[in-house]
Amino acid sequence: MTDWDRDSRTATQIIRGEAPGRVRIRTEPVLPVIRPEVNGSGTETRPVVFDIRDMGVYYGGNRALAGTTFSIYRNLVTAVIGPSGCGKSTFIRSLNRMNDAIPGFRLEGQILYHGHDIYGSRANRVEVRRRIGMVFQKPNPFPKSIYDNVAWAARNLGLKQRLDQRVEEALRQAALWDEVKDRLRDSALSLSGGQQQRLCIARAIAIEPDVLLLDEPASALDPVSTAAIEALMHKLKHRFTIVIVTHNMQQAARVADRTAFFSLDSTGADRTGTLIEYGDTETIFRAASDRRTRDYVAGRFG
Over residues 96-119, the pLDDT tens digits come to: 999 999 999 999 999 999 999 999
Length of the chain in residues, anyone?
Answer: 302
The tens place of each residue's pLDDT in the chain, 302 residues long, gives 444 445 555 555 555 555 444 433 333 333 333 344 554 445 557 899 999 999 999 999 899 999 899 999 999 999 999 999 899 999 999 999 999 999 999 999 999 999 999 999 889 998 999 999 999 999 999 999 999 999 998 898 888 789 999 999 999 999 999 999 999 999 999 999 999 999 999 999 999 999 999 999 998 888 999 999 999 999 999 999 999 999 999 999 999 999 999 998 765 556 799 999 999 999 999 999 999 999 999 988 75
Q: Which residues contact 4 (CB under 8 A, 6 or more apart)?
A: 47, 74
Percent of the chain at pLDDT > 90 equals 71
Over residues 19-41, the pLDDT tens digits come to: 444 433 333 333 333 344 554 44
The answer to whether 125 and 97 are in contact (CB under 8 A) is yes
**How far apart (Å, rounded) are the C-alpha atoms in residues 297 and 260?**
12
CATH code of the domain occupying 3-15+47-297? 3.40.50.300
**How far apart (Å, rounded) are the C-alpha atoms in residues 281 and 35?**
11
**How far apart (Å, rounded) are the C-alpha atoms in residues 143 and 10?**
32
Helix (H) or strand (E) holding 74: none
Kindly report the pTM of this predicted structure: 0.85
Residue type, 234: H
Over residues 266-290, the pLDDT tens digits come to: 655 567 999 999 999 999 999 999 9
